[in-house]
Chain A
Amino acid sequence: MDPMTALAASGMRARMESLDLLANNIANTSTGGYKADREFYSLYVGPEAMDDEASAAMPVIERQWTDLSQGAVHPTGNPLDLALSGSGFFTVQGPNGPLYTRNGNFHLASDGRLMAADGYPAQSVNGTALTIAASQPVEILGDGTVQQGGATVGQLAIANFADPAALVKQGANDFVADPAAKPTAPSGTSVGQGQLEDSNAGTAEGAVRLVAVMRQFEMMQKAVMLGNDMSKQAIEQVAKVG
């Protein structure tokens, strides 16, 4: 393949992966607490061809980053729906260590433990689950303190990560953290009771990005076809004798 075709083909492949990311974002526009993924392009430079950069540098999606910006918060009236305003995550006791989520759709288990939407118990600041009596109203303060009848039951653990890249999505609205990254208490984050955070992936924005990806893909395709034509010309015309 000539360098131009190879470059354009690499660009097409990258746009296909962009579309995969975008499709997932658009599929999750109604997922509470979902954070959109964005692509991060870089140039792939073959180590054996450092002297000929123009031909060896290929655009690829090296990694994605997760847009952790705030989603819209809407009131639900359910006292166990919690929304975080600001950075940070609710901590959930997963089967293999803590999980982190922005989906504050909590409910009670039959034994009174406060459970996250994925069925794992919510973790309090001292590492235990929170047990709530269903017969009394629950009040949850801005710092995550859970109160019933004026008495403090516990405080929800809210974890913040200095480097968002330490978090990896694992489905069901949960993130797992790199064990080397230690969560810290966030500053300026407040818990809103009776509210849920929407997905931060919007349909309108998704539609605009979709058009951009499609048009870029089309351009690359034209470039491949142009390279094809040039090769064809070279074969048919230049090599013509007589």
Chain B
Amino acid sequence: MIRALYSAASGMRAQETNVENIANNLANASTVGYKSRRAQFEDLMYQSVVQPGAASGQQTVVPTGLQLGLGARTASNELVFTQGAFSETDNPLDLTIQGNGFFQVQQANGTLAYTRAGQFHLDKSGNVVTLDGDPIVPQITIPPDAQQVTIAMDGTVSYTLPNQTASQLAGQLQLAGFQNPAGLNSIGQNLFTPTDASGEATVGNPGGSEGMGSLLQGYLEQSNVSIVNEFINLIQAQRGYEANSKVVTAADQMYQNVNQLSR
């Protein structure tokens, strides 16, 4: 009886985590470069009441036994790295990665972080920086009098100066790839840091043979959250929570019945 109560409670906790995860996905439905997370569940340990293979008589054994499960838990909420939709912005420093790569960004503490959000800007000294002011790696500087900034699919950044026809090379953008991107650590501000599960970053030029993907200038990658799917998940999570709470009520009522046996 107590088993049923705790199994149901574990189910409610799992569904709670599910709703929290859905809430975060929906809150970030408009965040550029956001990758949705998906909660995964697994069943807990099993308590053997009758061991399979135990003797049921002098000649026979129990073929399967009785094992009572003890509920569910949230195993992980993994990142889903499907490509988000592209939206056109016409801003020359808006970039989209068509493929699996990440932009490399240097954080204020000097360590590298990785992002899919390609909303870049210039700081006061002409460096290409993210929305939070972190410079892109390798550093690219555009002079203040540059007229037209062009970023090619292979990451070559060039610009033209006034009264000149030949374009100047500003630098080469590089992308980083991971063996297991789903194992990256989210640190907020659209940034990821590598972990033992993701593996170390391999760096390559966009459009190269490393499979990092190519760049698209003037477009932004929208989040890959599907609002319809999230709502369906929300309905399922809510109903699952409700069913588990019904089990708590049922177990409670059965307990009450037992207590009423001796009046």
Contact = CB atoms under 8 A, between A and B. Distances in A.
Contacts of A28: 11, 41, 43, 69, 71-72
Interface stretch (A48-56, A62-70, A185-193): A62-70
Given A31-B43, A62-B66, A173-B42, A134 B100 contact: yes
B178 A221 contact: no
A184 interface: no
Contact of B179 (A15, A111, A165): A111
Contact of A210 (B66, B67, B196, B246): B246
A159 interface: no
B82 A78 contact: yes
B254 A64 contact: no
A217 B137 CA distance: 68
A214 B80 CA distance: 41
Contacts of B244: 23, 26-27
Contact of B40 (A32, A77, A210, A221): A32
B229 to A, nearest CB: 9
Interface stretch (B1-9, B128-136, B149-157, B215-223): B1-9
B243 A203 contact: yes
A134 B75 CA distance: 23
Interface residues of B, number: 73
A171 interface: yes
Contacts of A224: 261
Contact of A165 (B64, B182, B236, B260): B64
Q: Is the interface of B mostly helix, strand, loop or mixed?
A: mixed
Nearest to B202: A135
A135 B100 contact: yes
A103 B240 CA distance: 19
Contacts of B200: 110
A31 B75 CA distance: 9
A105 B43 contact: no
Contacts of B250: 19, 210, 213-214
B237 interface: yes
B47 to A, nearest CB: 9
A23 B183 contact: no
B62 A62 contact: yes
Contacts of A105: 40, 78
Contacts of A171: 42-46
Contacts of A169: 43, 46, 67, 69
A171 B44 CA distance: 5
A170 B46 contact: yes
B46 A206 contact: no
A47 to B, nearest CB: 8
A112 B49 CA distance: 40
Nearest to B57: A47
Given A28-B41, A28-B43, A206-B243, A168 B68 contact: no
A29 B44 CA distance: 13
Interface in B67-96: 67-72, 75-76, 78, 80-82
A109 B50 contact: no
**Most chain A beta carbons < 10 A, residue from B3, B42, B239:** B42
Contacts of A62: 50, 62, 66
Given A65-B64, A210-B247, A22 B42 contact: no
Interface string B46-57: 100110100000
A30 B257 contact: no
Contacts of B14: 27, 30
A135 B177 contact: yes
A207 B236 contact: no
B251 interface: yes
A125 interface: no
A-B pairs with the 4 shortest C-beta distances? A27-B11, A135-B211, A110-B199, A24-B69
22 contacts: A17-B68, A19-B4, A21-B69, A23-B3, A24-B7, A24-B68, A26-B247, A27-B72, A28-B71, A30-B41, A30-B72, A32-B41, A62-B66, A63-B65, A78-B81, A135-B211, A169-B43, A206-B243, A213-B250, A214-B253, A217-B257, A221-B257
Given A24-B72, A63-B64, 20 more contacts: A20-B68, A23-B3, A23-B4, A23-B251, A24-B71, A26-B246, A27-B7, A27-B14, A27-B69, A30-B39, A31-B41, A31-B72, A34-B41, A63-B50, A63-B63, A110-B179, A111-B199, A117-B76, A168-B65, A210-B247
